[in-house]
Copies of this chain bind each other. A is one copy, B any other.
């Protein structure tokens, strides 16, 4: 039986548990019970609990997460459409995190509460996703805009998306459960964030006007930074 070999079964059981509880709170006993293996199997095959964690994260990384941030786009898509595609891929994945595969949750936990082991893995992954967003931005901003300004624009867009996940616990306290259920689905948030960001970039109408009313085009110039 090499298909359900013990080390693979342990990793399969450890993934969701590590993802749900974190490294410290997860117990070897629960993992082994879930995997249906003996308690001593973890230390036999992986040396220690830490060794199991490294093996689990290492397997979670490349298999499923490589280009999830970069959805397939039609060839002739406009920058606005590509930006919306990026935001939607990010938002939908973040909001469905609870139901998502454990690989994603484990990676997300590594972001907010990092284990020193996995720096290179994360660096490679997030640089790829961030680069895809930068490529979109580069097409719509002044080519002479400094790199750090373009980075900040990208971070503003990513920040809006991520906030709906990292603040899952306080957003209902602020807007209420009813409004949350009615107006905070993935597609609506994508509309808002895309519209907000396109307006900031001068590619769309400003937010803040009620639907149906006409808005004047003001302030076409830029401001000089200090």
Assess whether B209 is in contact with A141, with CB atoms less than 8 Å apart.
yes
Q: Given A142-B210, A218-B219, does the pair A192, B152 have CB atoms closer than 8 Å? A: yes
A178-196 contact mask (Cβ, 8 Å, vs B): 1 or 0: 0100111000010111011
Q: Given A179-B151, A182-B148, A191-B225, does the pair A200, B196 have CB atoms closer than 8 Å? A: yes
A74 is an interface residue with CB less than 8 A from chain B: no
Q: Given A122-B173, A126-B173, A169-B114, does the pair A205, B220 have CB atoms closer than 8 Å? A: yes
A111 is an interface residue with CB less than 8 A from chain B: yes
Q: Given A163-B163, A192-B156, does the pair A174, B127 have CB atoms closer than 8 Å? A: yes
On chain B, the residues within 8 Å of A205 by CB distance are 202, 219-223
Assess whether B170 is in contact with A163, with CB atoms less than 8 Å apart.
no
Assess whether A160 is in contact with B162, with CB atoms less than 8 Å apart.
no
- List, sorted by A's number, 26 A–B pairs whose CB atoms are closer than 8 Å: A111-B167, A111-B170, A112-B166, A119-B173, A123-B173, A149-B207, A151-B179, A152-B196, A156-B193, A156-B196, A159-B162, A160-B160, A160-B163, A191-B226, A199-B206, A202-B205, A202-B206, A203-B206, A203-B219, A205-B222, A205-B223, A212-B224, A215-B222, A215-B224, A216-B221, A216-B222
